[in-house]
Structures are given as structure tokens and as C-alpha cells.
């Protein structure tokens, strides 16, 4: 008789086979789940008695530790406590702070309305699963974040996946779909592993041609791209053509939670039927207040976005000059694709010998035999920090090759 837990043993046996010894396996496993200091949104942190340069932060604009963000959070905590309100939004969870954040986000996104969720995961999966009903279909980019994929899987309607940024395949799928079937196209604005952008102008053209709606999860683009930091849609000049703007507050905002912005009638529908909104506790007021302030700062301090872009240009130019193939990243994510456990070994050397903290992305976030050294920086880093990272990676690459053709890796299974 088969046992439900057998898959757990099989998973770890499969992972163990990728290493040369039990010692190496345990070492790399402990690194994968290494314990960070709580203050790990800073570019420099104290860890194991050493000062470490961190290039593994999602706090792209450095707003998590901005004095005004901290003050906004402290005032709410002192008045109302840490976790309040302690109810779901349809019950006791909606406060003036939640409604204010929704108004501010709708104004920022240029939409009629906005719904704030307590998780980015809940925002994406809860929106897609609520909107795509029976006899309807959602089309998802293969590289979209897992929260988008989960929403497609949870939906009562049909789900179709197309190869990353392959507009020909997407069009063939749209063409094969009955013309009277309601359709949603769901993509990321900036893809979180490769760092490249969704071709939003082409997506807008296709959604108009085939009568579909377009949802863009712009978690990595908001605050980073566009003249005013409104993200990928602003970067391409198609903001008013995107039906649903979505994202998380856990990146450039430096806080927590998620949102979807769009037409008022759609937002009201989500407030009644989205499980990610109705069936879970409201975003704590302390985080809501901090996000209101960070949204204000994002718009008031454009120089932070400029500094972030300068840091990214210095990093990417240095990596390309060193011979690394990094694709065409345009958000705040820069990735070096390599094979098997090389990324994890590289990250261990960066930590142990160069006092640099970067992330290694491994299976199941990417297919087996593929791994990524993933570098994310902030506006609080400097050009010298970027050069230090490049020099360290160059030296590691001389010890064991990291450079690997992205095309050959993707042909062996892709990422997503």
C-alpha cells in the first residue's frame, strides 16, 4: 500500500543525488536555509560576527528603514497594537487606513479602484481564481510567478500556459479559443528570475484583437521602472490598456501585502468573492500605515530610483565585461544562470571568503540541473559595492566555471 509521505523521502533522495557526498549535501542544504539577521533589508548587515555586503534584498528603494516609514508604523503600534485589526476585511478588518491605502494606490495606478490583500500570493491567486469561472480561460506566461500559476490552477475555468514571451504561441492559443469564451492573459511585468520584461505593447495588441483582458503582476517593476516609478506599463506607455494592475508591497515598498487595481465594478466583485480577500485576516494596520508612507516616499524621492538604476548599470556593465551572459534584465533583478549546484557553491564562497550575501535559486523554483546566482540591489548600495561583487564573481568563475549559455539551459527545461 502506498503512503502519502513517500514523496517526501523521494524528494530528498533526488536532491541528495546531485551532490558528491553526504557532507557536501548537508553543507549546501544548511546554506540554502541559512539564518539571516532580522535587519536583512540593509545593504550591510552583521552576521556571524562579520560585516556582510548584502545583494539579496528586495527593498529596492531602501524604504523599509526610512525614518518616516518607521515612524508611521510606530505610531500605529503604540496606539493599536501589533496585529490589529484581528478580523477579515468583510468582518472587523476594514479600517480607515485600509480604505486610504486603496484610494492612494488607485490614484497612483490611475485606476478607478484598488483592493488591498494581506499577501501578494492572495492578491494574484485570489483574483485569478475568482475571475476565471467555468467556460472561461486564462493564458499564463510559463515564467510568471508561482502565485499567478496557482491562481490559474485554482480557477474553475480552463488554464493554458505559453512559452515565455512567445507571442506567436499565445496568439495561436487565443485563436484556437472560441471567440465567445471570456479570456484573461496573466503575466509578470518584470520576471523575477530572468529580470526581463513582458512585451506589454504586443500583449495589449493581442488582448484587443481577441477580446481578452490583461492582468500584469508588476511586483518587480513598480517603483523601479517608468518615469514616475509606476512600473512596466508606464515604461511601455500602455498603463490605460492594462485591465488589472497587481503587485506586492514586499519589494520596492519595503513592507508587506499585495494589491490589485482596476475598474470599480471588478474590485467590488473581488471584495465579495475572492478567497484571498474574504477568507483571511486583514493586513495589519501597522503595515498598512507603513505602506501608505512608503508609497508617498516612492513618489517624493525619485532620486532613489535614479541611484538604483545607476547601481544596476554599474553591476551589469561589469558582469558583461567580465564575460558573464546575463540576458537582458531591466528591472532590479540580475541573474547568472549556471548548472546544478554551481550557484549554491558560488554563493557559499561569496559568503565565506568575500563577505557577500547573494541568493542561489535552486529546484523546485527552477528545473533540476539549472541554478541561478540571483543578485538584487537597492538604492542604498554604491558603485563600489557593485564593483566588489563583480570582482568576487570573476575570481570564483576562475576557480570553477559559472558562465553558461542561457539558451542551452532553457532548452533543457526552462524556468518559471
186-197 residue pLDDT tens: 999 999 988 999
Average pLDDT, stretch 89-96? Answer: 95
Cα–Cα distance, 323 to 401 (Å, whole number): 11
Q: How far is 410 from 193, CA to CA, in rounded Å?
A: 12
Q: Do 168 and 222 belong together in one domain?
A: yes
Q: How confident is the model at residue 404 (pLDDT cuts 50, 70, 90)?
A: low
Res 408 pLDDT > 80: no
Q: What is the mean pLDDT of residues 240-260?
A: 97
In a domain, 13, yes or no: no
Q: So what's the pLDDT on residue 410?
A: 52
Domain end residue (candidates: 273, 300, 327): 300
Q: How far is CA 309 from CA 157, 334, 351, 376, 383, in A?
A: 40, 12, 25, 12, 11
Average pLDDT of the chain, as a whole number: 92
Same domain membership, residue 325 and residue 261: no
Average pLDDT of the segment spanning 267-284: 96
Residue carrying C-alpha cell 479559443: 177
Lowest model confidence (mean pLDDT) among 92-101, 195-204, 214-223, 340-349: 340-349
> 357 and 322 share a domain?
yes
Question: 416 in a domain, yes or no?
Answer: no
Share of the chain above pLDDT 70, in %: 96
Find the domain containing 283 and state its range: 67-300
Q: Is 137 helix (H, G, I), strand (E, B) or coil?
A: strand
Task: Identify whether residues 77 and 43 lie together within a single domain.
Answer: no
pTM of the model: 0.93
Give 258's strand partners: 117, 248
For the chain, the domain total comes to 2
Predicted confidence at residue 39, as pLDDT, reads: 80
pLDDT on residue 296 = 98
- Are 308 and 294 part of one and the same domain? no
C-alpha pair distances (Å), 304 with each of 39, 148, 245, 297, 381: 20, 29, 23, 10, 11
Q: Is residue 292 part of a domain?
A: yes
217 in a domain, yes or no? yes
Whole-number Å distance between alpha carbons of 356 and 338: 19
Report the range of poorest mean pLDDT among 1-5, 68-72, 310-314.
Answer: 1-5
More confident residue, 284 or 13: 284
Confidence of residue 23 (pLDDT cuts 50, 70, 90): confident
Domain ends where: 245, 273, 300? 300
**How many residues can be counted in the chain?**
416
Query: Are 306 and 294 within one domain?
Result: no
Same domain? 128 vs 151: yes
**Residue 228 covered by a domain:** yes
Question: What pLDDT, on a 0 to 100 scale, did the predictor assign at position 107?
Answer: 98
d(CA 9, CA 356): 33
Say which CATH number the domain at 252 has.
Answer: 3.40.640.10
**Cα 6 to Cα 81: distance, rounded to the nearest angstrom:** 43
Which pLDDT score, from 0 to 100, does residue 1 have? Answer: 65
Distance CA 239, CA 229 (A): 12
Q: Identify whether residues 240 and 269 lie together within a single domain.
A: yes
Residues 112-148: pLDDT tens digits? 999 999 999 999 999 999 999 999 999 999 999 999 9
Q: Which helix (H) or strand (E) holds 173?
A: helix 167-176
- Domain membership of residue 12 (yes or no) is no
Q: The domain spanning residue 27 has which CATH number?
A: 3.90.1150.10
Question: 81 and 105 share a domain?
Answer: yes
Query: Cα(5)–Cα(70) distance, rounded to whole angstroms?
Result: 44
Of 197, 263, 274, 180, nearest to 236 by C-alpha is 197
In a domain, 60, yes or no: no
Question: Once rounded to an integer, what is the mean pLDDT over residues 278-286?
Answer: 96
Q: Is 170 a domain residue?
A: yes
Cα separation, 370 vs 365, whole angstroms = 10
Q: Which residue has the higher pLDDT, 226 or 412?
A: 226
Q: Are residues 247 and 321 in the same domain?
A: no
Q: Let me know whether 293 and 308 are in one domain.
A: no
Q: Does the pLDDT of residue 416 top 80, yes or no?
A: no
- 73-82 confidence digits (pLDDT tens): 999 999 999 9
Give the pLDDT confidence score for residue 124 in this predicted structure: 96
Confidence of residue 24 (pLDDT cuts 50, 70, 90): confident
The pLDDT-based confidence of 405 (bands split at 50, 70, 90) is low
Q: Same structural domain for residues 254 and 296?
A: yes
Q: Measured between alpha carbons, how far is 116 from 85 in angstroms, rounded to an integer? A: 14
Q: Tell me the average pLDDT across 336-349.
A: 88
Amino acid at each position: 500500500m502506498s503512503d502519502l509521505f513517500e514523496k517526501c523521502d523521494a524528494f530528498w533522495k533526488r536532491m541528495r543525488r546531485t551532490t558528491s557526498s553526504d557532507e557536501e549535501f548537508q553543507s549546501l542544504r544548511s546554506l540554502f536555509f541559512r539564518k539571516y539577521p532580522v535587519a536583512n533589508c540593509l545593504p550591510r548587515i552583521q552576521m556571524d560576527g562579520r560585516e556582510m555586503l548584502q545583494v539579496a534584498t528586495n527593498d529596492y528603494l531602501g524604504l523599509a528603514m526610512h525614518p518616516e516609514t518607521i515612524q508611521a508604523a510606530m505610531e500605529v503600534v503604540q496606539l493599536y497594537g501589533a496585529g490589529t485589526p484581528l478580523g477579515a476585511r468583510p468582518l472587523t478588518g476594514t479600517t480607515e487606513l485600509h480604505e486610504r491605502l486603496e484610494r492612494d494606490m488607485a490614484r497612483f495606478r490611475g485606476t478607478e479602484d484598488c483592493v488591498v490583500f494581506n499577501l501578494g500570493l492572495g492578491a494574484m491567486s485570489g483574483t485569478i481564481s475568482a475571475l476565471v469561472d467555468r467556460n472561461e480561460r486564462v493564458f499564463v506566461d510559463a515564467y510568471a510567478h508561482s502565485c499567478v500559476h496557482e491562481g490559474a490552477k485554482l480557477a474553475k475555468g480552463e488554464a493554458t500556459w505559453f512559452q515565455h514571451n512567445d507571442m506567436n504561441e499565445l496568439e495561436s492559443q487565443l485563436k484556437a479559443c472560441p471567440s465567445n469564451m471570456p479570456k484573461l492573459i496573466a503575466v509578470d511585468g518584470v520576471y523575477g528570475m530572468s529580470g526581463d520584461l513582458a512585451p506589454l505593447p504586443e500583449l495589449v495588441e493581442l488582448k484587443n484583437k481577441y477580446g481578452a483582458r490583461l492582468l500584469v503582476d508588476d511586483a518587480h517593476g513598480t517603483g523601479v521602472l517608468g518615469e514616475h516609478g509606476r512600473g512596466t506599463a508606464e515604461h511601455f506607455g500602455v498603463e490605460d490598456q492594462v485591465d488589472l494592475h497587481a503587485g506586492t508591497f514586499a519589494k520596492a515598498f519595503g513592507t508587506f501585502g499585495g494589491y490589485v487595481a482596476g475598474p470599480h465594478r471588478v474590485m467590488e466583485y473581488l471584495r465579495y468573492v475572492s478567497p484571498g480577500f474574504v477568507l483571511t485576516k486583514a493586513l495589519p494596520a501597522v503595515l498598512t500605515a507603513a505602506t501608505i508612507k512608503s508609497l508617498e516616499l516612492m513618489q517624493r524621492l525619485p532620486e532613489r530610483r535614479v541611484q538604483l538604476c545607476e547601481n544596476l548599470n554599474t553591476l551589469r556593465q561589469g558582469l558583461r565585461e567580465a564575460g558573464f551572459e546575463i540576458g537582458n534584465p531591466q528591472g532590479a533583478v540580475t541573474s547568472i544562470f549556471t548548472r546544478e549546484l554551481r550557484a549554491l557553491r558560488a554563493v557559499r564562497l561569496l559568503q565565506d571568503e568575500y563577505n557577500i550575501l547573494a541568493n542561489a535559486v535552486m529546484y523546485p523554483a527552477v528545473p533540476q540541473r539549472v541554478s541561478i546566482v540571483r543578485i538584487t540591489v537597492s538604492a542604498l548600495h554604491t558603485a563600489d559595492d557593485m564593483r566588489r561583487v563583480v570582482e568576487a564573481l570573476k575570481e570564483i568563475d576562475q576557480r570553477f566555471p559559472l558562465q553558461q549559455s542561457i539558451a542551452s539551459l532553457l532548452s533543457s527545461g526552462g524556468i518559471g
